[in-house]
Structure 1
Amino acid sequence: MSADTAGETGPRSVLVMPARVGLADVPGLCARLSALYGGGARSVVCDLGAVERADLAVVEALARLRLTARRAGREVRVVNAGSGIRELLALTGLGSLAEPPGAS
């Protein structure tokens, strides 16, 4: 699921992460991100508010989304990450992806 919003520096879109994320979901998420960029989005916010479980599949998905964004010369930000996800991101060196609670 995604939604478009107007950003100050161009179109911004939101990619909503599903409640349960498995490794098999990663290619589809990356394809959706690429499609958002192809549709004109300058930056994408990945909303993790629905994610039920903090695990390495979520970290893998976020790492791949970041790589997809960088390859497109764009950026992706993570919002609404629970404390467990933020801790896993920090442990894996990806802590800069997640904003502190309430920063969006």
Structure 2
Amino acid sequence: MSYARLPGLPIVDAMTPAVLTLVGPVTRDEVTGLCDDVRRLLDATGTGAVVCDVAGLGPPGLEAVDLLARLELAARRAGGRIRLRDPAPALHALLDLVGLRFEVEGQPEQREPALGVEEAVEPGDPAV
């Protein structure tokens, strides 16, 4: 019995999230379609994450915050999450200000110390 080999590397393809490029400003009518795109990408890839490239989103404002919150909600309802790529520092600060936390590509998770960081130990400290 023979079969056709699928293109790509199966393990790598299963771990590579899809990328959704957001170019703004995004109108209120486009938000529903983008939420549908996030759900569709999560179903198609099965990775549990969609990377949203927000470099071209435009000036940060409440419209951008609303869009990202709705995309995250759509992703969570579909069993996944979104991850941001290239957010402007002002957008990152605005998201922190309103209390929304997103995973950003290239940043270590909050639970993990950054690479190369070691804790200092004082003489006489008890071993843990």
| TM-score computed with the length of structure 2 as normaliser | 0.66
* Residue type at the aligned position of 2:35: C
Kindly indicate whether the alpha-carbon contact (under 8 Å) linking 2:52 and 2:83 is maintained by their aligned counterparts in 1: yes
Structure 1, unpaired ranges of 5+: 1-5
Mapped pair 1:21 → 2:13: no
Q: Is the 8 A contact 1:81 1:98 kept in 2?
A: no
CA RMSD of superposed structures (Å): 2.3
Pair 1:72-2:96 in alignment: no
Q: Distance in 2 between matches of 1:8 and 1:90?
A: 32
Pairs within 5 Å for 1:32-43 = 32-42=37-47, 43=49
Deviation of 1:8 (Å): 7.6
Match among 91, 100, 104 for residue 99 of structure 1: 104
1: distance between equivalents of 2:14 and 2:32?
A: 28
Higher relative contact order (CA 8 A, sep 6+): 1
TM-score by length of structure 1 reads 0.79
Identity between Structure 1 and Structure 2 (%): 32
Higher strand share: 1
Displacement over 3 Å in runs of 4+: 6-9
Unaligned runs of 5+ in 2: 1-10, 109-128
